[in-house]
Amino acid sequence: MNGILNYFLLIYFIFFFGLAFVWRSYLVWKTTGMNPYKLGRTESAHDYIGVLFRAVLAACVLVVILYTFFPAWYKFLAPIVWLNNSVLIWTGIGLLVISLLWILIAQSNMGRSWRIGVDADVKTDLIQSGLFSISRNPIFLGMRAMLIGFFFILPNALTFTTWLLGDALMQIQVRLEEAHLRKLHGDIYNAYARRVRRWL
């Protein structure tokens, strides 16, 4: 099982970053002429959350590298041995696959409006169709599922921390984005928020 997980996790994260970030960013840039990456280096809460969330994703990559190429070092991440079982591992694999597909569909639903962070310079459309008709934050919902699934596959102190910290950061980020969308779209967003739940 370990050999399968090595290849699966490596391939998964290559696809995750390649499709959900690099490819989607390229598509938005190609159609709009602007960079969709809106996280800066200021002292604002928004940018600070961006720094922490990048650290969460970097920690996930570090775990995969240690597990795959440096198994002796992986033991220093304090694996939670009693959670190591095939049911949780297969549940985690299922969550990772479903979450990536879910995220890609949600990004496709957003089209030209997709951004990494809050875009204060352009009035993007308020997307209410597709997955956004059942969740106001389907991309973050998919990422929450991804972090849980990753913890199920490799339960250790670092994946547990990234799960909790990542989830807390996304809870804060969606509220910052909601405040921005309320300011941008006013009553239209308020009606949408009354009709569709924040998560599911």
Q: Are 6 and 67 in contact (CB under 8 A)?
A: yes
Structure confidence at residue 118 (pLDDT): 80
Alpha-carbon gap, residue 54 to 58, rounded angstroms: 6
- What CA–CA distance (Å, rounded) separates 66 from 12? 16
Q: pLDDT under 70 in the chain at which residues? A: 1-3
Convert 187-199 to b/e letters by CB count within 10 Å (16 or more is b). eebeebeeebeee
pLDDT at 120: 74
Per-residue pLDDT at 2: 64
- List, for residues 151-171, the tens digit of each pLDDT value: 999 999 999 999 999 999 999
Phi and psi at 36, nearest 5°, equal -80, -5
- Domain boundaries 2-195, CATH class: mainly alpha
Q: How far apart are CA 179 and CA 175, in angstroms?
A: 6
Q: Quick one: pLDDT at residue 22? A: 92
pLDDT, residue 1, reads 59
